[in-house]
């Protein structure tokens, strides 16, 4: 998992580089793509061009390098030769191999750079069966550069393959896309990121609170690189074990216990305590919009627990925290929780442009406290006795 070329040399290397995937087995969250590429290599059915699409930090460039390595190594085995050694593998993952050429589309986006690529592509590979070009952020190429690239992609030499990586596939011309096998890399689920972060912390010999990898995974929003960057920051600040409250201190997150008290007061329909807790959060530097966004996220956890049960991977919490959510959501039906989230979202957008944001914030919070009463009143007006009885998801299973 660790890149030997990134570890020593007298300086610390960030976790995102030290733990960058170097094999298909280490690439997290892209199982279908891994299986397809692996089978294509084994069956010698690889295409001459691939387009890897996806948001930042989901493994596009890593997958391109791994594909190059596996393709080269498999070719050597087919020819009955000894696969290249560790130095050759390190060169590929540093982007310095003579047969695996990496080009940054953001800084080499002109037609002259692509013409140079075309000229060099005519040369046979030095030691491999293929010369493979990885063009990162390919959508940054100019129109003239794309036109030049199209010429060689229409009729590429047999020994040349391309892997184009992009975060914005809509900017890649259809003429280019039509000549590629396209793979869409999905954002990585929180539970897979959290598990990977936990494995890294364990391998580093760092003790940690179980909730920290889960919270970092949520903050990373599906990007493994972002998660590792956040983890690096937290580990550096802690200088030891990662305990409760560390994320609030290091990343400037709101007080989790105070947010928990706010959620509890809302679910208990205690408007006075709700406003008191909100006042403390605002006094500690939390903006009105951030408060409502954070509250919406925590009510969403109640909704997931009420809908899917405490064992669902969608929750992204420790078992104790999930059980606490189950207790808080017991007296609230799913439609009410949905309305609470909608009210938080609408209020968050409105306070950003309001001339009286605190008044609007307080109004939204008090409304949340009485949301269940509003629902019951609506049912009475419709001639029914109340909202439908809740089903226990755990019992239903």
* Each residue's pLDDT tens digit, 151-192: 888 888 889 999 999 999 999 999 999 999 999 999 999 999
Predicted pLDDT of residue 270: 93
Do domains 4-184 and 256-396 share one topology? The answer is no
Predicted pLDDT of residue 11: 55
Instruction: Give the residue extent of every domain in the chain.
Output: 4-184, 190-251, 256-396
Entry pTM: 0.78
Predicted pLDDT of residue 53: 96
Predicted pLDDT of residue 128: 76
Predicted pLDDT of residue 397: 42
Structure tokens given for 134? 């990885």
**Phi-psi sector, 71: left (phi>0), alpha (psi -120 to 50), beta:** alpha
> Would you call 313 helix, strand, or coil by DSSP?
coil
How far apart CA 162 and CA 221 sit, in angstroms, is: 29
**Residue 150 burial (CB count, 10 A):** 15
Q: Which of 150, 146, 99 is nearest to 127 (CA)?
A: 99
CB 139 within 8 A of CB 167: yes
How far apart CA 209 and CA 135 sit, in angstroms, is: 40
Low-confidence ranges of the chain (pLDDT < 70): 1-12, 374-397
Domain 4-184 class? alpha beta
Domain 256-396 class? mainly alpha
**Residue 120 burial (CB count, 10 A):** 12
CB 245 within 8 A of CB 277: no
CA dihedral 245, 246, 249, 251 (to 10 degrees): -120
**CATH 1.10.3720.10 applies to domain 190-251:** no
Predicted pLDDT of residue 33: 95
Query: Can you name the residues that pair with 164 across neighbouring β-strands?
Result: 51, 135
Q: Beta strand 181-184 with 160-166: parallel, antiparallel or unpaired?
A: unpaired
């Amino acid at each position: 998992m660790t890149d030997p070329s990134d570890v020593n040399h007298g300086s610390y290397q960030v976790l995102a580089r030290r733990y960058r995937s170097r094999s298909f087995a280490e690439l997290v969250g892209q199982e279908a793509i891994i299986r397809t590429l692996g089978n294509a290599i084994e069956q010698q059915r690889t295409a001459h061009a691939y387009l890897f699409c996806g948001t930042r930090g989901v493994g596009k460039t890593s997958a391109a390098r791994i594909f190059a390595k596996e393709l080269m190594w498999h070719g050597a085995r087919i020819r009955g030769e000894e696969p290249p050694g560790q130095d050759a593998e390190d060169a590929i993952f540093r982007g310095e191999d003579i047969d695996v050429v990496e080009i940054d589309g953001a800084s080499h986006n002109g037609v002259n750079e692509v013409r140079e690529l075309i000229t060099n592509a005519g040369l046979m590979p030095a030691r491999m069966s293929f010369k493979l070009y990885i063009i990162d952020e390919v959508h940054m190429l100019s129109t003239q550069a794309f036109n030049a690239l199209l010429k060689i992609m229409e009729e590429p030499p047999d020994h040349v393959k391309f892997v184009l990586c992009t975060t914005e596939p809509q900017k890649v011309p259809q003429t280019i896309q039509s000549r590629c096998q396209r793979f869409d890399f999905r954002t990585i689920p929180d539970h897979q990121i959290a598990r990977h972060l936990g494995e890294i912390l364990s391998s580093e010999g760092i003790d940690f609170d179980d909730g920290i990898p889960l919270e970092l995974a949520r903050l990373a929003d599906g990007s493994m690189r972002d998660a590792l960057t956040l983890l690096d920051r937290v580990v550096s600040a802690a200088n030891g074990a990662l305990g409760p409250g560390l994320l609030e201190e290091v990343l400037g997150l709101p007080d989790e216990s105070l947010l928990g008290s706010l959620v509890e007061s809302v679910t208990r329909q205690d408007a006075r305590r709700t406003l008191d807790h909100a006042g403390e959060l605002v006094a500690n530097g939390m903006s009105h919009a951030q408060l409502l966004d954070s509250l919406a996220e925590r009510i969403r956890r109640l909704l997931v627990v009420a809908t899917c049960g405490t064992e669902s991977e969608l929750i992204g919490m420790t078992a104790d925290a999930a059980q606490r959510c189950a207790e808080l959501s017991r007296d609230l039906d799913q439609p009410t929780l949905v309305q609470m989230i909608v009210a938080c979202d609408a209020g968050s957008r409105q306070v950003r442009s309001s001339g009286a944001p605190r008044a609007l914030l307080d109004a939204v919070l008090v409304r949340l406290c009485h949301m269940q009463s509003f629902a019951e009143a609506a049912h009475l007006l419709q001639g029914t006795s109340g909202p439908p009885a809740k089903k226990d998801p755990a019992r239903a299973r």
